[in-house]
Amino acid sequence: MSKAQYAQRHDGRVVALQYLYAWSINSPASLVDDLRVFFEGQEQPRDHYAFGEELIDGVIKNQAGIDAQIRVLAQNWEFERIAKIDLAILRVAIFEMLHRRDIPPVVSINEAIDISKQFSNADSKRFINGILDRLKDQLGRDSRKAAE
């Protein structure tokens, strides 16, 4: 993957996190209209964030299963107490790890930790890493390679 492609995927993850954070607080009446307005406010044209839009769509469609996974993995932690921003970061990373086999799990984990450093607090990166590391160990595949 080229540096430009990596940067574009990172940008996509960031907008996915931002949208999903807002979505978790105030779910819109029309997802299509809300996404249009959201992407109009971004620095780059909407197609630059195509990967992010795939993540948003995937997380929303699979939210129940992703949240169930978080509840199991967040040992001794009440789901309702997880900060909304950390929850959005976890949802994006867990969606990638479970549904995007073209992305090595360690890439999803590293991106989630990097993004948490930018948008959350120092304690969050340890919490997020712990949950995603537990999931990585349960995947049954090489965490450093994309699945075939």
Per the CATH hierarchy, to which homologous superfamily does domain 3-138 belong?
A: NusB-like (1.10.940.10)
Distance of CA 133 to the CA centre of its chain: 14
pLDDT score, position 140: 79
pLDDT score, position 68: 95
Which of the two residues, 3 and 6, has the higher pLDDT score? 3
Average of per-residue pLDDT values in the chain? 92
% residues pLDDT > 70 (the chain) = 98
Total-model pTM: 0.93
Reported as a pLDDT band with limits 50, 70 and 90, residue 142 is low
Reported as a pLDDT band with limits 50, 70 and 90, residue 47 is very high
Torsion on CA atoms 56, 135, 111, 82, rounded to nearest 10: 70
Q: To which residue do tokens 């995007």 refer?
A: 100
Q: Tell me the per-residue pLDDT of 88-132, one tens digit each, with 9 for 90 and over.
A: 999 999 999 999 999 999 999 999 999 999 999 888 999 999 999
Q: Please report, for the chain, the start and end positions of each structural domain, with discontinuous segments joined by +.
A: 3-138
